[in-house]
């Protein structure tokens, strides 16, 4: 495998939340007390280990995810940023993103987070309707959320926010009105996710008991198509299945995942891909802390990926992008040729669902709705989607 010399992405996981959202299957935990100094020291140690494993790289992006990283003391964020940019050479235009809840308490930290070096914030608004926010068990209401957004736009050069749609009984007209309001708020990037029922969540329990029903496939398809059309018309087209941005405002950090570049992951449960190795940290915060104290890092898994698996992951990730995949890059990470079923590609191309030109393969706009069905047809022995930190 040819070593990846493109800019490195760093993911830092802060696992703590004030409460657990009923739809969330991320590695998040509620704790009565967090020893902030202990956590700062452990994150810095875990980071130093990854830096030793990836020497001499340019650092293109840093992403603080969670959990709720806006609960981190700004001094901890500043310490991590200083260390990361000492271990590696920061790109002149390094992108530093932090996920934040839109509460007034957390918004009060935005000035200090910006002073620490954060230059992009991803705000978890989730809905612009109070009834929907209550259903999602969010702690903020629309007024507070929009207030936090206004504060974010004052302090950060780049702002994105998330919305969840395809909620129970949500009509197409209601979603179109909510999305129109979102598009008028002036951000450069939106992450728009259909509600899915994830195993192990409170919503999964409710669905199993027949107390929660999300829109059927036809209704969800209508919502998806309306979302793509409205964002494109507003100048924020989909550049990935669920992510929409003005030209040039795409998340460079997330593009590293989807283009299958190297990324280091530190903190509880964080995954990474570096030089053909798959890494994963211990998920439970206490187990991760114990591993760092014992070993100087929080690694639970560090193993080489087979060439076929690397190629399959690169295809599964890259075909989510509107730009598609660079087949030469996929072949390089796969150590030979891309694991593609070309007969299936020919059939799908004839149906207008994929397009192949030179070294570029992509799923068309017509095929985007059918991506989950297309991937196992195109990618030989397709794996489950590569596990990466959440993106926004």
pLDDT of 388 reads: 45
Share of residues in the chain with pLDDT > 70 (%)? 96
At residue 3 the predicted structure's pLDDT band, cuts being 50, 70 and 90, is low
Cis check: omega of the bond before 350, within 30 degrees of 0:
no
10 Å CB burial of residue 33 (0-12, 13-18, 19+) is exposed
Whether 330 shows a pLDDT value over 90: the answer reads yes
Q: What is the mean pLDDT of residues 114-126?
A: 97
Q: What is the mean pLDDT of residues 39-50?
A: 98
Q: What is the mean pLDDT of the chain?
A: 94
Is the entire prediction scored with pTM above 0.85? yes
Strand order in the sheet with 354-357: 325-326, 360-363, 354-357
Model confidence pLDDT, tens digit, residues 54-96: 999 999 999 999 999 999 999 999 999 999 999 999 999 999 9
Which of 255, 277, 249, 250 lies closest to 265 in space, CA to CA?
A: 277
The Cβ-side half-sphere exposure at 266, using a 13 Å CA radius, reads 28
Structure tokens of 123? Answer: 């705000």
Beta strands at 189-194 and 360-363: parallel, antiparallel or unpaired: unpaired
Whether 298 shows a pLDDT value over 90: the answer reads yes
At residue 386 the predicted structure's pLDDT band, cuts being 50, 70 and 90, is very low
Residue with tokens 């030989």: 380
Domains delineated in the chain: 8-257 (3.20.20.70), 307-378 (1.10.10)
Helices 342-350 and 371-378 cross at an angle (nearest 10°) of 140
Among the listed ranges 25-34, 48-57, 247-256, which one has the minimum average pLDDT value? 25-34
Distance CA 223, CA 211 (A): 22
């Amino acid at each position: 495998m040819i070593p990846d010399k493109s800019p490195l992405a760093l993911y830092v996981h802060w696992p703590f939340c004030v409460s657990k959202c009923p739809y969330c299957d991320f590695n998040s935990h509620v704790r009565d007390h967090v020893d902030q100094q202990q956590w700062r020291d452990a994150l810095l140690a875990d980071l130093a280990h990854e830096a030793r494993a990836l020497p001499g790289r340019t650092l293109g992006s840093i992403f603080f995810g969670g959990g709720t990283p806006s609960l981190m003391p700004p001094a901890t964020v500043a310490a991590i940023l200083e260390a990361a940019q000492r271990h590696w050479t920061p790109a002149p235009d390094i992108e530093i993103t932090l996920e934040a809840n839109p509460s007034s308490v957390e918004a009060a930290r935005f000035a200090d987070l910006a002073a620490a070096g954060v230059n992009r914030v991803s705000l978890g608004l989730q809905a612009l309707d109070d009834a929907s926010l209550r259903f999602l068990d969010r702690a903020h209401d629309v007024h507070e959320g929009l207030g936090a957004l206004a504060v974010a736009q004052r302090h950060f050069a780049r702002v994105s926010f998330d919305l969840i749609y395809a909620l129970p009984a949500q009509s197409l007209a209601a979603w179109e009105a909510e999305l129109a309001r979102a598009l008028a708020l002036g951000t450069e990037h939106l992450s728009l996710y259909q509600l899915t029922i994830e195993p192990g969540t409170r919503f999964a329990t409710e669905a199993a008991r027949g107390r929660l029903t999300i829109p059927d496939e036809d209704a969800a398809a209508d919502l998806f198509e309306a979302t793509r059309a409205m964002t494109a018309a507003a100048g924020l087209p989909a550049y990935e299945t669920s992510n929409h941005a003005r030209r040039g405002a795409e998340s460079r950090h997330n593009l590293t995942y989807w283009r299958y570049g190297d990324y280091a992951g530190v903190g509880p449960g964080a995954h990474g891909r570096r030089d053909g190795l798959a890494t994963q940290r211990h998920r439970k915060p206490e187990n991760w802390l114990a591993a760092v104290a014992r070993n100087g890092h929080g690694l639970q898994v560090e193993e080489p990926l087979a060439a076929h698996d690397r190629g399959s992951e690169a295809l599964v990730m890259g075909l989510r992008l509107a730009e598609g995949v660079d087949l030469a890059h996929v072949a390089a990470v796969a150590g030979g040729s891309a694991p593609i079923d070309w007969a299936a590609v020919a059939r799908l191309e004839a149906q207008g669902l994929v397009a192949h030109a030179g070294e570029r393969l992509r799923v068309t706009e017509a095929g985007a709705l059918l991506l989950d069905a297309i991937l196992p047809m195109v990618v030989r022995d397709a794996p489950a989607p590569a596990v990466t930190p959440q993106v926004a």
